[in-house]
Structure 1
Protein backbone atom coordinates (compact mmCIF):
# COMPACT_ATOMS: atom_id res chain seq x y z
CA UNK A 1 0.00 0.00 0.00
CA UNK A 2 1.33 3.45 -0.88
CA UNK A 3 2.30 5.64 2.08
CA UNK A 4 0.19 8.41 0.56
CA UNK A 5 -2.96 6.32 0.60
CA UNK A 6 -5.48 6.70 3.43
CA UNK A 7 -6.17 3.86 5.87
CA UNK A 8 -8.77 1.50 4.44
CA UNK A 9 -10.94 1.80 7.54
CA UNK A 10 -10.93 5.61 7.23
CA UNK A 11 -12.78 5.28 3.91
CA UNK A 12 -15.72 3.37 5.36
CA UNK A 13 -18.50 4.51 7.67
CA UNK A 14 -18.69 0.97 9.10
CA UNK A 15 -16.69 -2.21 8.83
CA UNK A 16 -17.19 -5.94 8.52
CA UNK A 17 -20.51 -7.42 9.58
CA UNK A 18 -21.11 -4.28 11.63
CA UNK A 19 -22.16 -2.78 8.28
CA UNK A 20 -25.28 -4.93 8.24
CA UNK A 21 -28.64 -3.24 8.39
CA UNK A 22 -30.10 -3.57 11.88
CA UNK A 23 -32.54 -6.49 12.12
CA UNK A 24 -35.53 -4.20 12.71
CA UNK A 25 -34.64 -2.00 9.73
CA UNK A 26 -34.18 -5.01 7.48
CA UNK A 27 -37.50 -6.47 8.61
CA UNK A 28 -39.26 -3.18 7.89
CA UNK A 29 -37.74 -3.00 4.39
CA UNK A 30 -38.74 -6.56 3.54
CA UNK A 31 -42.21 -6.60 5.11
CA UNK A 32 -44.00 -5.63 1.89
CA UNK A 33 -41.89 -7.75 -0.43
CA UNK A 34 -44.12 -10.56 -1.69
CA UNK A 35 -43.07 -14.10 -0.91
CA UNK A 36 -41.65 -15.99 -3.84
CA UNK A 37 -44.03 -18.36 -5.54
CA UNK A 38 -43.76 -21.97 -4.46
CA UNK A 39 -40.96 -23.82 -6.25
CA UNK A 40 -40.74 -27.55 -5.70
CA UNK A 41 -36.94 -27.53 -5.86
CA UNK A 42 -36.39 -24.60 -3.47
CA UNK A 43 -35.43 -26.42 -0.27
CA UNK A 44 -34.46 -23.28 1.69
CA UNK A 45 -35.61 -19.76 0.87
CA UNK A 46 -36.25 -16.66 2.99
CA UNK A 47 -38.72 -18.18 5.43
CA UNK A 48 -36.55 -18.27 8.57
CA UNK A 49 -33.69 -15.90 7.69
CA UNK A 50 -31.38 -18.83 7.08
CA UNK A 51 -27.76 -18.49 5.99
CA UNK A 52 -28.13 -19.40 2.31
CA UNK A 53 -30.62 -20.50 -0.31
CA UNK A 54 -30.65 -24.18 -1.26
CA UNK A 55 -31.95 -25.53 -4.59
CA UNK A 56 -32.40 -29.23 -5.34
CA UNK A 57 -30.51 -30.18 -8.51
CA UNK A 58 -31.23 -33.91 -8.43
CA UNK A 59 -31.70 -36.74 -5.94
CA UNK A 60 -28.05 -36.57 -4.87
CA UNK A 61 -27.15 -32.88 -5.07
CA UNK A 62 -28.49 -29.54 -3.93
CA UNK A 63 -26.93 -26.17 -4.72
CA UNK A 64 -26.14 -23.86 -1.80
CA UNK A 65 -26.04 -20.22 -2.92
CA UNK A 66 -25.17 -17.14 -0.88
CA UNK A 67 -23.49 -13.74 -1.11
CA UNK A 68 -21.80 -11.53 1.44
CA UNK A 69 -19.75 -8.35 1.18
CA UNK A 70 -18.80 -5.43 3.38
CA UNK A 71 -16.42 -2.55 3.99
CA UNK A 72 -12.98 -2.86 5.64
CA UNK A 73 -12.65 -3.98 9.23
CA UNK A 74 -8.82 -3.68 9.11
CA UNK A 75 -6.34 -1.58 7.13
CA UNK A 76 -4.16 -4.31 5.66
CA UNK A 77 -5.67 -4.97 2.21
CA UNK A 78 -4.63 -8.64 2.10
CA UNK A 79 -6.16 -9.29 5.53
CA UNK A 80 -9.35 -7.45 4.54
CA UNK A 81 -9.72 -9.70 1.51
CA UNK A 82 -9.11 -12.81 3.60
CA UNK A 83 -11.67 -11.82 6.22
CA UNK A 84 -14.36 -10.98 3.68
CA UNK A 85 -13.88 -14.22 1.76
CA UNK A 86 -13.85 -16.36 4.91
CA UNK A 87 -17.05 -14.69 6.06
CA UNK A 88 -18.81 -15.29 2.73
CA UNK A 89 -17.86 -18.97 2.56
CA UNK A 90 -19.12 -19.49 6.12
CA UNK A 91 -22.74 -19.43 4.96
CA UNK A 92 -22.11 -22.44 2.70
CA UNK A 93 -20.53 -24.37 5.57
CA UNK A 94 -23.41 -23.36 7.87
CA UNK A 95 -25.82 -25.23 5.58
CA UNK A 96 -23.64 -28.33 5.67
CA UNK A 97 -22.34 -27.62 2.18
CA UNK A 98 -18.94 -27.94 0.57
CA UNK A 99 -17.97 -24.88 -1.54
CA UNK A 100 -17.38 -25.46 -5.26
CA UNK A 101 -16.50 -21.98 -6.57
CA UNK A 102 -16.91 -18.27 -5.88
CA UNK A 103 -17.44 -15.00 -7.72
CA UNK A 104 -15.83 -11.79 -6.49
CA UNK A 105 -17.86 -8.66 -5.71
CA UNK A 106 -15.66 -5.57 -5.86
CA UNK A 107 -16.49 -1.91 -5.31
CA UNK A 108 -13.50 0.41 -4.95
CA UNK A 109 -12.76 4.16 -4.94
CA UNK A 110 -10.35 3.90 -7.85
CA UNK A 111 -9.25 7.54 -7.60
CA UNK A 112 -8.22 7.03 -3.96
CA UNK A 113 -6.75 3.53 -3.79
CA UNK A 114 -3.95 2.24 -5.96
CA UNK A 115 -4.38 -0.75 -8.22
CA UNK A 116 -1.74 -2.43 -6.07
CA UNK A 117 -3.87 -2.05 -2.93
CA UNK A 118 -7.04 -3.21 -4.69
CA UNK A 119 -5.12 -6.14 -6.12
CA UNK A 120 -3.94 -7.15 -2.65
CA UNK A 121 -7.56 -7.23 -1.43
CA UNK A 122 -8.48 -9.60 -4.23
CA UNK A 123 -5.36 -11.69 -3.62
CA UNK A 124 -6.36 -12.07 0.02
CA UNK A 125 -9.79 -13.33 -0.97
CA UNK A 126 -8.33 -15.67 -3.57
CA UNK A 127 -5.92 -17.12 -1.00
CA UNK A 128 -8.83 -18.11 1.25
CA UNK A 129 -10.69 -19.67 -1.66
CA UNK A 130 -7.55 -21.63 -2.53
CA UNK A 131 -7.38 -22.86 1.06
CA UNK A 132 -11.00 -23.98 0.71
CA UNK A 133 -10.06 -25.81 -2.48
CA UNK A 134 -12.12 -23.68 -4.85
CA UNK A 135 -11.46 -21.10 -7.60
CA UNK A 136 -12.62 -17.52 -7.87
CA UNK A 137 -14.23 -18.08 -11.25
CA UNK A 138 -15.28 -14.52 -12.07
CA UNK A 139 -17.13 -11.61 -10.54
CA UNK A 140 -18.10 -7.98 -11.00
CA UNK A 141 -16.44 -4.66 -10.12
CA UNK A 142 -17.60 -1.06 -9.85
CA UNK A 143 -16.14 2.32 -8.92
CA UNK A 144 -17.63 3.19 -5.52
CA UNK A 145 -17.17 5.82 -2.83
CA UNK A 146 -16.29 3.28 -0.15
CA UNK A 147 -14.20 0.12 -0.55
CA UNK A 148 -16.40 -2.98 -0.67
CA UNK A 149 -15.36 -6.58 -1.17
CA UNK A 150 -17.02 -9.98 -0.84
CA UNK A 151 -18.07 -13.10 -2.68
CA UNK A 152 -20.93 -14.94 -4.23
CA UNK A 153 -20.28 -18.42 -2.82
CA UNK A 154 -21.72 -21.63 -4.23
CA UNK A 155 -21.57 -25.11 -2.76
CA UNK A 156 -23.11 -28.56 -2.85
CA UNK A 157 -24.86 -30.67 -0.23
CA UNK A 158 -27.01 -33.80 -0.34
CA UNK A 159 -30.69 -32.73 -0.47
CA UNK A 160 -31.51 -34.95 2.51
CA UNK A 161 -28.65 -33.58 4.63
CA UNK A 162 -29.20 -29.83 4.38
CA UNK A 163 -28.62 -28.13 7.73
CA UNK A 164 -30.87 -25.18 8.62
CA UNK A 165 -31.54 -22.91 11.58
CA UNK A 166 -35.02 -24.40 12.14
CA UNK A 167 -34.45 -27.99 13.25
CA UNK A 168 -33.46 -27.52 16.92
CA UNK A 169 -35.19 -29.84 19.38
CA UNK A 170 -36.02 -29.43 23.05
CA UNK A 171 -33.22 -30.96 25.08
CA UNK A 172 -30.50 -30.05 22.57
CA UNK A 173 -27.22 -28.52 23.68
CA UNK A 174 -25.90 -25.42 21.86
CA UNK A 175 -22.24 -25.37 20.87
CA UNK A 176 -20.42 -22.29 19.55
CA UNK A 177 -17.24 -23.01 17.60
CA UNK A 178 -15.55 -19.58 17.88
CA UNK A 179 -15.19 -17.24 20.82
CA UNK A 180 -16.92 -13.85 20.76
CA UNK A 181 -15.59 -10.30 20.64
CA UNK A 182 -14.69 -9.54 17.03
CA UNK A 183 -16.75 -6.34 17.08
CA UNK A 184 -15.02 -5.09 20.22
CA UNK A 185 -11.57 -5.86 18.80
CA UNK A 186 -12.38 -4.12 15.51
CA UNK A 187 -13.70 -1.07 17.38
CA UNK A 188 -10.53 -0.99 19.50
CA UNK A 189 -8.45 -1.23 16.32
CA UNK A 190 -10.16 1.84 14.86
CA UNK A 191 -9.57 3.69 18.13
CA UNK A 192 -5.87 2.80 18.14
CA UNK A 193 -6.28 0.76 21.33
CA UNK A 194 -5.64 -2.75 20.00
CA UNK A 195 -2.23 -4.26 20.76
CA UNK A 196 -0.41 -6.85 18.65
CA UNK A 197 -1.84 -9.80 20.56
CA UNK A 198 -5.37 -8.49 20.16
CA UNK A 199 -4.88 -7.89 16.44
CA UNK A 200 -3.47 -11.39 16.03
CA UNK A 201 -6.54 -12.82 17.80
CA UNK A 202 -8.81 -10.79 15.54
CA UNK A 203 -7.14 -12.00 12.34
CA UNK A 204 -6.84 -15.61 13.48
CA UNK A 205 -10.55 -15.83 14.29
CA UNK A 206 -11.92 -13.99 11.27
CA UNK A 207 -9.77 -15.85 8.73
CA UNK A 208 -10.45 -19.37 10.05
CA UNK A 209 -12.76 -21.17 7.65
CA UNK A 210 -15.78 -22.88 9.22
CA UNK A 211 -14.87 -26.11 7.43
CA UNK A 212 -16.27 -28.18 10.29
CA UNK A 213 -19.73 -27.35 8.93
CA UNK A 214 -19.17 -29.56 5.90
CA UNK A 215 -18.55 -32.51 8.22
CA UNK A 216 -21.81 -32.13 10.15
CA UNK A 217 -24.36 -33.56 7.64
CA UNK A 218 -25.20 -37.08 8.64
CA UNK A 219 -23.54 -36.72 12.05
CA UNK A 220 -25.75 -38.23 14.73
CA UNK A 221 -27.71 -35.71 16.78
CA UNK A 222 -26.98 -32.55 14.78
CA UNK A 223 -30.36 -30.86 14.36
CA UNK A 224 -29.76 -27.19 13.46
CA UNK A 225 -26.87 -24.90 12.52
CA UNK A 226 -26.36 -21.22 11.85
CA UNK A 227 -23.31 -18.98 11.84
CA UNK A 228 -22.99 -16.07 14.26
CA UNK A 229 -22.26 -12.88 12.35
CA UNK A 230 -23.64 -9.36 12.23
CA UNK A 231 -26.64 -9.78 14.54
CA UNK A 232 -24.50 -11.15 17.37
CA UNK A 233 -24.99 -14.32 19.39
CA UNK A 234 -28.38 -13.21 20.71
CA UNK A 235 -29.72 -12.27 17.27
CA UNK A 236 -28.73 -15.49 15.55
CA UNK A 237 -29.86 -17.58 18.53
CA UNK A 238 -33.22 -15.82 18.27
CA UNK A 239 -33.45 -16.76 14.58
CA UNK A 240 -32.83 -20.37 15.62
CA UNK A 241 -35.50 -20.10 18.32
CA UNK A 242 -38.01 -18.67 15.85
CA UNK A 243 -37.18 -21.20 13.18
CA UNK A 244 -37.65 -24.07 15.62
CA UNK A 245 -40.55 -22.59 17.60
CA UNK A 246 -38.70 -23.15 20.90
CA UNK A 247 -36.89 -21.21 23.62
CA UNK A 248 -33.12 -20.89 23.57
CA UNK A 249 -31.32 -20.52 26.89
CA UNK A 250 -27.80 -19.03 26.73
CA UNK A 251 -25.12 -18.66 29.36
CA UNK A 252 -24.22 -15.08 30.26
CA UNK A 253 -20.46 -15.68 30.06
CA UNK A 254 -19.65 -17.25 26.67
CA UNK A 255 -15.99 -17.71 25.60
CA UNK A 256 -14.22 -14.50 24.57
CA UNK A 257 -11.26 -13.86 22.30
CA UNK A 258 -8.01 -12.67 23.81
CA UNK A 259 -7.99 -9.03 24.99
CA UNK A 260 -11.78 -8.65 24.60
CA UNK A 261 -12.79 -8.61 28.27
CA UNK A 262 -10.66 -5.65 29.45
CA UNK A 263 -11.54 -3.65 26.34
CA UNK A 264 -15.27 -4.32 26.68
CA UNK A 265 -15.20 -3.61 30.41
CA UNK A 266 -13.54 -0.25 29.68
CA UNK A 267 -16.39 0.75 27.36
CA UNK A 268 -15.19 -0.31 23.89
CA UNK A 269 -18.19 -1.35 21.83
CA UNK A 270 -19.67 -0.98 18.36
CA UNK A 271 -22.68 1.04 17.31
CA UNK A 272 -24.09 -2.13 15.75
CA UNK A 273 -24.22 -3.79 19.16
CA UNK A 274 -26.70 -1.20 20.39
CA UNK A 275 -28.72 -1.31 17.18
CA UNK A 276 -28.97 -5.07 17.47
CA UNK A 277 -30.24 -4.87 21.04
CA UNK A 278 -32.84 -2.26 20.11
CA UNK A 279 -34.04 -4.40 17.21
CA UNK A 280 -34.76 -7.65 19.03
CA UNK A 281 -34.47 -6.83 22.73
CA UNK A 282 -38.20 -7.37 23.32
CA UNK A 283 -37.66 -11.08 22.64
CA UNK A 284 -34.67 -11.45 24.98
CA UNK A 285 -34.78 -12.07 28.73
CA UNK A 286 -31.61 -10.82 30.46
CA UNK A 287 -30.72 -11.33 34.14
CA UNK A 288 -30.88 -8.21 36.27
CA UNK A 289 -27.28 -8.46 37.44
CA UNK A 290 -25.62 -8.82 34.05
CA UNK A 291 -23.12 -5.95 33.56
CA UNK A 292 -23.75 -3.68 30.59
CA UNK A 293 -20.49 -4.67 28.91
CA UNK A 294 -21.39 -8.37 29.05
CA UNK A 295 -24.81 -7.59 27.62
CA UNK A 296 -23.12 -5.68 24.79
CA UNK A 297 -20.90 -8.68 24.01
CA UNK A 298 -23.97 -10.84 23.48
CA UNK A 299 -25.12 -8.46 20.72
CA UNK A 300 -21.59 -7.74 19.45
CA UNK A 301 -21.48 -8.18 15.65
CA UNK A 302 -19.21 -11.08 14.74
CA UNK A 303 -17.50 -10.63 11.40
CA UNK A 304 -16.74 -14.18 10.18
CA UNK A 305 -17.94 -15.67 13.46
CA UNK A 306 -18.33 -19.29 14.47
CA UNK A 307 -21.05 -21.85 13.94
CA UNK A 308 -23.85 -22.23 16.48
CA UNK A 309 -24.86 -25.89 16.48
CA UNK A 310 -27.92 -27.43 18.13
CA UNK A 311 -27.03 -31.03 18.93
CA UNK A 312 -28.55 -33.80 21.03
CA UNK A 313 -27.07 -33.73 24.52
CA UNK A 314 -25.65 -37.22 24.15
CA UNK A 315 -23.67 -36.21 21.06
CA UNK A 316 -22.36 -32.88 22.37
CA UNK A 317 -18.97 -34.23 23.45
CA UNK A 318 -18.42 -35.90 20.08
CA UNK A 319 -19.15 -32.62 18.35
CA UNK A 320 -16.79 -30.72 20.63
CA UNK A 321 -14.06 -33.25 19.88
CA UNK A 322 -14.65 -32.84 16.14
CA UNK A 323 -14.55 -29.04 16.39
CA UNK A 324 -11.34 -29.06 18.39
CA UNK A 325 -9.75 -31.53 16.00
CA UNK A 326 -10.57 -29.05 13.21
CA UNK A 327 -8.68 -26.33 15.09
CA UNK A 328 -11.54 -24.65 16.96
CA UNK A 329 -9.83 -24.68 20.33
CA UNK A 330 -12.36 -22.42 22.04
CA UNK A 331 -15.44 -24.38 20.93
CA UNK A 332 -17.74 -24.63 23.93
CA UNK A 333 -21.26 -25.27 25.15
CA UNK A 334 -23.07 -21.93 25.35
CA UNK A 335 -26.66 -22.96 26.03
CA UNK A 336 -29.53 -25.33 25.44
CA UNK A 337 -32.92 -25.56 23.77
CA UNK A 338 -36.09 -26.00 25.85
CA UNK A 339 -39.84 -26.04 25.35
CA UNK A 340 -41.36 -22.58 25.36
CA UNK A 341 -42.12 -19.57 23.15
CA UNK A 342 -39.71 -18.46 20.45
CA UNK A 343 -37.40 -16.22 22.46
CA UNK A 344 -34.00 -16.24 24.14
CA UNK A 345 -33.28 -16.35 27.87
CA UNK A 346 -29.83 -15.50 29.22
CA UNK A 347 -28.54 -16.93 32.47
CA UNK A 348 -26.54 -15.04 35.06
Structure 2
Protein backbone atom coordinates (compact mmCIF):
# COMPACT_ATOMS: atom_id res chain seq x y z
CA UNK A 1 0.00 0.00 0.00
CA UNK A 2 1.08 3.56 -0.60
CA UNK A 3 -0.20 6.88 0.76
CA UNK A 4 -3.08 8.24 -1.28
CA UNK A 5 -4.42 11.06 0.89
CA UNK A 6 -2.91 14.26 2.16
CA UNK A 7 -3.22 15.14 5.83
CA UNK A 8 -6.77 16.11 6.67
CA UNK A 9 -5.84 17.96 9.83
CA UNK A 10 -2.98 19.01 12.08
CA UNK A 11 -3.11 20.34 15.64
CA UNK A 12 -6.87 19.66 15.60
CA UNK A 13 -7.24 22.16 12.75
CA UNK A 14 -8.55 21.26 9.27
CA UNK A 15 -5.91 21.28 6.57
CA UNK A 16 -6.19 24.03 3.96
CA UNK A 17 -3.93 24.28 0.93
CA UNK A 18 -2.66 27.79 0.25
CA UNK A 19 -3.87 28.54 -3.28
CA UNK A 20 -2.03 29.57 -6.41
CA UNK A 21 -1.07 33.12 -7.39
CA UNK A 22 -4.36 33.81 -9.15
CA UNK A 23 -6.55 33.20 -6.09
CA UNK A 24 -8.24 36.09 -4.27
CA UNK A 25 -6.61 36.70 -0.90
CA UNK A 26 -9.88 38.01 0.53
CA UNK A 27 -11.30 34.49 0.22
CA UNK A 28 -8.67 32.99 2.53
CA UNK A 29 -9.70 31.57 5.91
CA UNK A 30 -8.67 33.19 9.17
CA UNK A 31 -4.95 32.61 9.86
CA UNK A 32 -5.55 30.66 13.07
CA UNK A 33 -8.55 28.66 11.82
CA UNK A 34 -6.72 26.09 9.66
CA UNK A 35 -3.50 24.15 9.28
CA UNK A 36 -1.93 25.78 6.22
CA UNK A 37 -0.52 23.43 3.60
CA UNK A 38 2.24 25.05 1.55
CA UNK A 39 3.13 23.00 -1.51
CA UNK A 40 4.88 23.20 -4.85
CA UNK A 41 5.03 20.79 -7.77
CA UNK A 42 7.42 17.94 -7.06
CA UNK A 43 8.26 17.76 -10.77
CA UNK A 44 9.26 21.40 -11.10
CA UNK A 45 6.33 22.91 -13.00
CA UNK A 46 5.53 26.39 -11.72
CA UNK A 47 6.69 27.99 -8.47
CA UNK A 48 9.19 26.37 -6.18
CA UNK A 49 8.35 25.90 -2.51
CA UNK A 50 10.17 29.02 -1.28
CA UNK A 51 8.24 31.18 -3.75
CA UNK A 52 4.91 29.80 -2.57
CA UNK A 53 5.96 30.32 1.04
CA UNK A 54 6.94 33.92 0.32
CA UNK A 55 3.51 34.57 -1.20
CA UNK A 56 1.91 32.97 1.84
CA UNK A 57 3.88 35.18 4.24
CA UNK A 58 2.80 38.25 2.28
CA UNK A 59 -0.88 37.29 2.13
CA UNK A 60 -1.53 35.87 5.62
CA UNK A 61 -1.03 37.34 9.09
CA UNK A 62 1.64 34.84 10.07
CA UNK A 63 1.67 36.01 13.70
CA UNK A 64 -1.64 34.14 14.11
CA UNK A 65 -0.72 30.93 12.25
CA UNK A 66 -0.77 27.88 14.54
CA UNK A 67 -0.04 24.98 12.19
CA UNK A 68 1.95 24.54 8.97
CA UNK A 69 2.05 21.55 6.65
CA UNK A 70 4.95 21.38 4.20
CA UNK A 71 3.83 19.61 1.06
CA UNK A 72 5.92 18.82 -2.01
CA UNK A 73 9.11 20.63 -2.86
CA UNK A 74 10.71 20.51 -6.30
CA UNK A 75 12.35 17.15 -7.04
CA UNK A 76 11.66 15.72 -3.59
CA UNK A 77 12.55 12.33 -5.09
CA UNK A 78 16.12 13.59 -5.61
CA UNK A 79 16.67 16.57 -3.30
CA UNK A 80 16.27 16.97 0.47
CA UNK A 81 14.23 19.88 1.85
CA UNK A 82 17.26 21.96 2.80
CA UNK A 83 15.86 25.09 1.14
CA UNK A 84 12.50 24.54 2.82
CA UNK A 85 14.11 24.29 6.24
CA UNK A 86 16.22 27.39 5.58
CA UNK A 87 13.13 29.38 4.54
CA UNK A 88 11.20 28.31 7.62
CA UNK A 89 14.05 29.15 9.96
CA UNK A 90 14.63 32.51 8.30
CA UNK A 91 10.97 33.38 8.93
CA UNK A 92 10.67 31.94 12.44
CA UNK A 93 10.28 35.33 14.12
CA UNK A 94 7.17 35.88 12.01
CA UNK A 95 5.46 32.79 13.51
CA UNK A 96 5.25 33.34 17.28
CA UNK A 97 2.02 31.31 17.54
CA UNK A 98 3.25 28.29 15.55
CA UNK A 99 2.65 25.09 17.52
CA UNK A 100 2.57 22.35 14.88
CA UNK A 101 4.68 21.54 11.83
CA UNK A 102 4.61 18.59 9.44
CA UNK A 103 7.34 18.12 6.83
CA UNK A 104 6.71 16.10 3.68
CA UNK A 105 2.95 15.71 3.20
CA UNK A 106 3.12 14.03 -0.20
CA UNK A 107 0.96 11.34 -1.76
CA UNK A 108 2.12 8.66 -4.16
CA UNK A 109 1.41 10.73 -7.31
CA UNK A 110 3.80 13.38 -6.02
CA UNK A 111 6.46 11.16 -4.48
CA UNK A 112 6.30 7.66 -3.03
CA UNK A 113 7.05 7.65 0.69
CA UNK A 114 10.34 5.78 0.27
CA UNK A 115 11.45 8.13 -2.50
CA UNK A 116 11.06 11.27 -0.37
CA UNK A 117 14.51 12.61 0.42
CA UNK A 118 14.96 14.01 3.90
CA UNK A 119 17.83 15.46 5.90
CA UNK A 120 18.58 16.48 9.49
CA UNK A 121 15.20 17.79 10.62
CA UNK A 122 16.16 18.73 14.18
CA UNK A 123 17.08 22.36 13.30
CA UNK A 124 13.33 22.92 12.95
CA UNK A 125 12.76 21.76 16.52
CA UNK A 126 15.65 23.86 17.77
CA UNK A 127 14.42 26.87 15.80
CA UNK A 128 10.83 26.57 17.02
CA UNK A 129 11.14 25.76 20.73
CA UNK A 130 7.40 26.28 21.31
CA UNK A 131 6.36 23.51 18.89
CA UNK A 132 3.98 21.01 20.45
CA UNK A 133 3.57 18.74 17.42
CA UNK A 134 6.12 17.75 14.81
CA UNK A 135 5.85 15.22 12.03
CA UNK A 136 7.94 14.12 9.08
CA UNK A 137 7.30 11.75 6.16
CA UNK A 138 10.10 9.94 4.36
CA UNK A 139 13.11 8.04 5.66
CA UNK A 140 15.71 8.39 2.90
CA UNK A 141 18.56 10.48 4.30
CA UNK A 142 16.59 11.28 7.46
CA UNK A 143 18.71 12.28 10.43
CA UNK A 144 17.51 12.99 13.94
CA UNK A 145 20.48 13.53 16.25
CA UNK A 146 19.62 13.58 19.94
CA UNK A 147 18.25 16.87 21.23
CA UNK A 148 16.31 18.38 24.10
CA UNK A 149 12.90 19.98 23.55
CA UNK A 150 10.72 20.99 26.45
CA UNK A 151 7.41 21.68 24.68
CA UNK A 152 7.00 18.84 22.17
CA UNK A 153 3.96 16.69 22.96
CA UNK A 154 3.56 14.73 19.73
CA UNK A 155 6.24 13.31 17.41
CA UNK A 156 5.38 11.34 14.25
CA UNK A 157 7.89 9.87 11.78
CA UNK A 158 6.31 8.09 8.80
CA UNK A 159 8.57 6.00 6.58
CA UNK A 160 8.87 2.88 4.51
CA UNK A 161 12.26 2.42 6.20
CA UNK A 162 13.46 4.37 9.21
CA UNK A 163 17.28 4.48 9.59
CA UNK A 164 18.60 2.99 12.81
CA UNK A 165 20.61 6.14 13.44
CA UNK A 166 17.40 8.18 13.52
CA UNK A 167 15.71 5.67 15.83
CA UNK A 168 18.65 5.87 18.22
CA UNK A 169 18.68 9.67 18.05
CA UNK A 170 15.01 9.86 18.97
CA UNK A 171 15.57 7.42 21.81
CA UNK A 172 18.45 9.50 23.15
CA UNK A 173 16.49 12.77 23.04
CA UNK A 174 15.16 14.44 26.17
CA UNK A 175 11.46 15.06 25.52
CA UNK A 176 9.87 15.57 28.94
CA UNK A 177 6.50 16.77 27.58
CA UNK A 178 6.09 14.07 24.90
CA UNK A 179 2.76 12.26 25.17
CA UNK A 180 2.46 10.70 21.71
CA UNK A 181 5.26 8.96 19.79
CA UNK A 182 4.57 7.30 16.43
CA UNK A 183 7.41 5.65 14.49
CA UNK A 184 6.97 3.77 11.21
CA UNK A 185 10.01 1.50 11.30
CA UNK A 186 9.62 0.02 7.82
CA UNK A 187 11.75 -2.58 6.09
CA UNK A 188 15.43 -3.08 5.16
CA UNK A 189 14.46 -2.83 1.47
CA UNK A 190 13.79 0.88 2.02
CA UNK A 191 16.48 1.70 4.56
CA UNK A 192 14.84 0.45 7.75
CA UNK A 193 17.94 -1.10 9.31
CA UNK A 194 17.05 -0.77 12.99
CA UNK A 195 16.80 -3.70 15.38
CA UNK A 196 14.59 -4.19 18.41
CA UNK A 197 17.56 -3.37 20.64
CA UNK A 198 17.64 0.15 19.17
CA UNK A 199 14.24 0.77 20.77
CA UNK A 200 15.43 0.10 24.33
CA UNK A 201 15.87 3.78 25.32
CA UNK A 202 12.30 4.45 24.18
CA UNK A 203 10.92 1.35 25.87
CA UNK A 204 12.62 2.17 29.13
CA UNK A 205 10.63 5.41 29.25
CA UNK A 206 13.40 7.13 31.19
CA UNK A 207 13.38 10.26 29.01
CA UNK A 208 9.65 10.13 28.29
CA UNK A 209 7.90 10.60 31.64
CA UNK A 210 4.60 11.76 30.09
CA UNK A 211 4.32 9.25 27.24
CA UNK A 212 0.81 7.83 26.97
CA UNK A 213 0.53 6.79 23.31
CA UNK A 214 3.28 4.66 21.79
CA UNK A 215 3.17 3.44 18.18
CA UNK A 216 5.97 1.27 16.83
CA UNK A 217 4.48 0.10 13.59
CA UNK A 218 4.73 -0.65 9.87
CA UNK A 219 7.64 -2.94 10.70
CA UNK A 220 8.98 -6.10 9.12
CA UNK A 221 10.39 -7.06 12.55
CA UNK A 222 7.06 -6.65 14.33
CA UNK A 223 7.40 -9.95 16.24
CA UNK A 224 10.70 -8.81 17.74
CA UNK A 225 9.19 -5.42 18.57
CA UNK A 226 6.24 -7.10 20.30
CA UNK A 227 8.60 -9.31 22.31
CA UNK A 228 10.59 -6.26 23.42
CA UNK A 229 7.43 -4.36 24.34
CA UNK A 230 6.18 -7.30 26.43
CA UNK A 231 8.60 -6.48 29.25
CA UNK A 232 9.16 -2.76 28.59
CA UNK A 233 8.86 -0.46 31.63
CA UNK A 234 7.16 2.27 29.60
CA UNK A 235 4.10 0.10 28.94
CA UNK A 236 2.66 0.41 32.43
CA UNK A 237 2.02 4.13 31.91
CA UNK A 238 0.57 3.86 28.39
CA UNK A 239 -3.05 4.36 27.44
CA UNK A 240 -2.61 3.37 23.78
CA UNK A 241 -0.19 0.79 22.39
CA UNK A 242 -0.01 0.57 18.60
CA UNK A 243 1.86 -2.29 16.92
CA UNK A 244 -0.15 -2.13 13.72
CA UNK A 245 0.67 -2.11 9.99
CA UNK A 246 3.51 -4.62 10.27
CA UNK A 247 4.32 -8.30 9.97
CA UNK A 248 2.93 -9.44 13.32
CA UNK A 249 2.41 -13.18 13.58
CA UNK A 250 1.32 -15.59 16.31
CA UNK A 251 4.87 -15.60 17.62
CA UNK A 252 4.84 -11.87 18.38
CA UNK A 253 1.29 -11.88 19.71
CA UNK A 254 2.14 -14.79 21.98
CA UNK A 255 5.14 -12.95 23.37
CA UNK A 256 3.03 -9.85 23.93
CA UNK A 257 0.28 -11.72 25.79
CA UNK A 258 2.86 -13.69 27.76
CA UNK A 259 4.49 -10.54 29.10
CA UNK A 260 3.22 -7.92 31.50
CA UNK A 261 -0.53 -7.33 31.77
CA UNK A 262 -2.07 -5.04 29.18
CA UNK A 263 -5.50 -4.74 30.75
CA UNK A 264 -4.82 -1.15 31.85
CA UNK A 265 -4.70 0.03 28.24
CA UNK A 266 -7.53 1.97 26.69
CA UNK A 267 -6.61 0.64 23.24
CA UNK A 268 -4.37 -1.95 21.61
CA UNK A 269 -4.04 -1.44 17.86
CA UNK A 270 -2.86 -4.45 15.86
CA UNK A 271 -4.58 -3.80 12.55
CA UNK A 272 -2.88 -5.18 9.42
CA UNK A 273 -1.59 -8.37 11.03
CA UNK A 274 -0.86 -11.99 10.16
CA UNK A 275 -2.40 -13.71 13.19
CA UNK A 276 -4.25 -16.98 12.96
CA UNK A 277 -7.91 -16.94 13.95
CA UNK A 278 -7.20 -18.78 17.24
CA UNK A 279 -4.76 -16.04 18.20
CA UNK A 280 -7.17 -13.32 17.17
CA UNK A 281 -9.70 -14.82 19.56
CA UNK A 282 -7.08 -15.22 22.29
CA UNK A 283 -6.21 -11.53 22.10
CA UNK A 284 -9.86 -10.55 22.19
CA UNK A 285 -10.70 -12.83 25.10
CA UNK A 286 -7.72 -11.64 27.10
CA UNK A 287 -8.29 -7.90 26.73
CA UNK A 288 -11.81 -7.03 25.69
CA UNK A 289 -13.47 -8.26 28.94
CA UNK A 290 -11.19 -5.79 30.77
CA UNK A 291 -12.55 -2.94 28.65
CA UNK A 292 -9.59 -2.62 26.27
CA UNK A 293 -10.52 -1.56 22.76
CA UNK A 294 -8.71 -3.92 20.38
CA UNK A 295 -8.30 -3.27 16.66
CA UNK A 296 -7.68 -6.58 14.90
CA UNK A 297 -8.77 -5.61 11.41
CA UNK A 298 -6.65 -7.66 9.03
CA UNK A 299 -6.83 -4.95 6.39
CA UNK A 300 -4.83 -5.64 3.26
CA UNK A 301 -2.38 -8.03 4.94
CA UNK A 302 -1.90 -10.83 2.43
CA UNK A 303 0.66 -13.61 2.11
CA UNK A 304 2.45 -14.76 -1.03
CA UNK A 305 3.64 -18.36 -1.12
CA UNK A 306 6.29 -19.40 -3.63
CA UNK A 307 6.69 -22.82 -5.17
CA UNK A 308 9.42 -23.77 -2.72
CA UNK A 309 7.10 -23.07 0.20
CA UNK A 310 8.56 -19.73 1.25
CA UNK A 311 5.96 -17.30 2.56
CA UNK A 312 6.26 -13.55 2.00
CA UNK A 313 4.50 -11.05 4.23
CA UNK A 314 4.43 -7.30 3.80
CA UNK A 315 4.13 -4.14 5.87
CA UNK A 316 1.19 -1.86 5.15
CA UNK A 317 3.24 1.01 3.67
CA UNK A 318 6.48 0.24 1.87
CA UNK A 319 7.34 1.95 -1.39
Same fold (TM over 0.5): no
TM interval, short-chain normalised: under 0.3
Determine which structure has the larger strand proportion and give its number: 1
Higher relative contact order (CA 8 A, sep 6+): 1
TM-score (norm 1): 0.26
TM-score (norm 2): 0.27
Point out the structure with max Rg over C-alpha.
2
Determine which structure has the larger helix proportion and give its number: 1
